[in-house]
């Protein structure tokens, strides 16, 4: 079958393309922005990419068009598909119908931590010899691709609450019907499609309704928003994880000061110590959820703990892009205040008193609308210097946020100026934390080059 994918360079749709190619289909795709790393991954799979949305890309006409949720009515290729009556579907529907049917689906949902937790879970199953399939919204360093079919019934999927397509406004995860479900957390996000928190909770409860009684739902202890979802009705056993040693719950003990070493417990029973390169309490929570989910699939917790010791992390999640003249440059995907706070706190615990320069680029629709601007100052409190990028797409002035942060914060509207400012001021030992869920004008490479020139 010849399949053409619209919006193919998004992490999810790119994964769909890889899976379709592995199934033996002839796959091509179009996107407004064809750029690495996804473009490189797709090209390596023999998938033809076309820049832009010219209807000519659909000649000769494919057998099926898979339409990403970034496209809507008015797009030239969408209009062509509808006018010509071409067969079309959404990415989640294709995944559910062509890949997940009859498989043991392990879904990872939540406002934060989906990509990292799904990557951990897929790696644990791989380490245990279960050869799972997976579709992850990022590039896990333990795997060469973000998606694969796998050789066993097990399939790990990052279960996103964002809508499926312009013609299907249900959350993606409604399609997946997981047997094992992780719900990491729940906060208000995606303000462009959800009017309030209750609207998101409704979608999560639709997800809960799809998990069989023989399945398992794993969630953090004490998350009031998720507990409200469960109170709407639950027909599946629950397992909890969290900070406190609650009887019968997963938790960590003997956590090192930098949080890179901790012992995994279920109730009073220890399953061993994880020692790894990740940082932050949020990643300990992610690890506990992954261990619990893997256990449901038959992996011994001791084996899962051993696997986590070899987990290499995910690109763009506290990824060290380089160390120039003892100045470390990080790339992180954090954009919601809770994720920003966890990231900054994790780095602070890891580097102690070393100076942290936090550079923030707000690109998600929710953050561009200013929905969470009042909580941004507190999220950045542990940084020594804060630079807020006032991009043209923002709907509000960041100066109000900077004033609340204090004298260590400044607003800048030119990436080149940010690079010059940081390169001129950074001293050996400075930790430069760049947070953005976009490309951010290739600021990481530009900054490292400026630091090299300064030291020449």
Domain boundaries, the chain: 2-90, 102-308, 319-455
Per-residue confidence at 305, pLDDT binned at 50, 70, 90? very high
What are the CA-CA distances from residue 432 to residues 150, 279, 375, 384, 407 (Å)? 38, 16, 22, 10, 18
Of 431, 415, 422, the C-alpha closest to 451 is: 422
At 334 the pLDDT is 82
Give yes or no for residue 444 having a pLDDT over 60. yes
Positive or negative torsion for Cα 120, 124, 125, 127:
positive
* % of the chain with per-residue pLDDT over 90: 77
How far is Cα 259 from Cα 275, in angstroms, rounded to an integer?
A: 9
- Looking at domain 102-308, its CATH architecture is 3-Layer(aba) Sandwich (3.40)
pLDDT digits (tens, 9 = 90+) for 108-148: 999 989 999 999 999 999 999 999 999 998 889 999 889 99
> Does residue 343 surpass a pLDDT of 80?
yes
User: Residue 394 pLDDT > 90, yes or no?
Assistant: no
CA–CA dist 249, 240 (Å, integer): 5
CATH number for domain 2-90, candidates 1.10.40.50, 3.40.50.720, 3.30.230.10, 2.40.30.10: 3.40.50.720
pLDDT tens figures, 35-92: 667 778 888 889 999 999 999 999 999 999 999 999 999 999 999 999 999 999 999 9
366 vs 204: which has the higher pLDDT = 204
Per-residue exposure over 251-270, b if at least 16 CB sit within 10 Å of its own CB, e if not: bbeeeeeebbebebbbeeee
Are the beta carbons of 312 and 145 closer than 8 angstroms? no
CATH code: domain 319-455 is 3.90.190.20
**Is there a contact between 88 and 162 (Cβ–Cβ < 8 Å)?**
no
Tokens of 42: 């797709």
Q: What angle do CA 268, 218, 292 make, to 5 degrees?
A: 50
Decide if pLDDT at 369 tops 80: no
Q: Is the pTM of this model over 0.85?
A: yes
> In this predicted model, what pLDDT tens digit does every residue of 225-242 receive, in sequence order?
999 999 999 999 999 999
Q: Tell me what pLDDT residue 218 has.
A: 98
Residue carrying structure tokens 């990231």: 343
Cβ-based burial of 26 (10 A; exposed 0-12, middle 13-18, buried ≥19): middle
pLDDT at position 456, please?
56
CA angle 141, 99, 131 (to 5 degrees): 45
Give pLDDT, residue 241. Answer: 96
pLDDT digits (tens, 9 = 90+) for 162-205: 999 999 999 999 999 999 999 999 988 877 788 999 999 999 99
């Amino acid at each position: 079958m010849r399949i053409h994918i619209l919006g193919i360079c998004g992490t999810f749709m790119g994964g769909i393309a890889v899976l379709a190619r592995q199934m033996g289909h002839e796959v091509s795709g179009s996107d407004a922005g064809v750029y690495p790393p996804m473009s490189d991954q797709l090209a390596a799979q023999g998938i033809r990419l076309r820049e832009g949305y010219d209807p000519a890309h659909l000649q000769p006409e494919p057998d099926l068009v898979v339409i990403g949720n970034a496209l809507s009515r008015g797009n030239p290729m969408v209009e062509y598909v509808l006018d010509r009556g071409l067969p079309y579907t959404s990415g989640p529907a294709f995944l559910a119908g062509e890949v997940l049917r009859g498989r043991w689906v392990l879904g990872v949902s939540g406002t934060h931590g989906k990509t990292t937790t799904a990557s951990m879970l897929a790696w644990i199953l791989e380490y245990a010899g279960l050869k799972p399939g997976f579709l992850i919204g990022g590039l896990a360093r333990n795997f060469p691709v973000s998606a694969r079919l796998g050789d066993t019934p097990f399939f790990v999927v990052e279960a996103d609450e964002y809508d499926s397509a312009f013609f299907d406004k249900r959350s993606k995860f409604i399609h997946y019907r997981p047997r094992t479900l992780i719900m990491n957390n729940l906060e208000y996000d995606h303000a462009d499609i959800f009017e309030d928190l209750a609207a998101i909770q409704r979608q999560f409860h639709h997800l809960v309704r799809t998990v069989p009684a023989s399945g398992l739902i794993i969630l953090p202890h004490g998350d009031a928003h998720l507990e409200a979802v469960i109170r709407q009705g639950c027909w599946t056993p629950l397992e909890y994880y969290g900070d406190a040693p609650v009887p019968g719950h997963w938790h960590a003990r003997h956590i090192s000061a930098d949080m890179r070493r901790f012992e995994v417990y279920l109730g009073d029973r220890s399953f061993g110590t994880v020692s790894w390169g990740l940082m932050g309490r949020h990643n300990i929570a992610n690890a506990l959820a992954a261990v619990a989910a893997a256990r449901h699939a038959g992996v011994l917790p001791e084996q899962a703990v051993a696997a986590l010791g070899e987990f290499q992390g995910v690109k763009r999640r506290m990824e060290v892009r380089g160390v120039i003249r003892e100045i470390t440059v990080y790339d992180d995907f954090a954009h919601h205040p809770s994720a920003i706070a966890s990231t900054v706190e994790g780095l602070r615990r890891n580097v102690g008193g070393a100076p942290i320069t936090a550079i923030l680029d707000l690109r998600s629709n929710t953050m561009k609308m200013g929905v969470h601007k009042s909580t941004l100052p507190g999220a950045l409190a542990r940084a020594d210097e804060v630079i807020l990028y006032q991009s043209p797409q923002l709907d509000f002035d960041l100066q109000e946020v900077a004033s609340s942060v204090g004298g260590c914060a400044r607003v800048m509207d030119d990436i080149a100026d940010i690079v010059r400012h940081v390169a001129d001021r950074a001293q050996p030992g400075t930790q430069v934390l760049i947070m953005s869920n976009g490309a951010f004008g290739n600021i990481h490479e530009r900054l490292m080059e400026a630091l090299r020139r300064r030291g020449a």
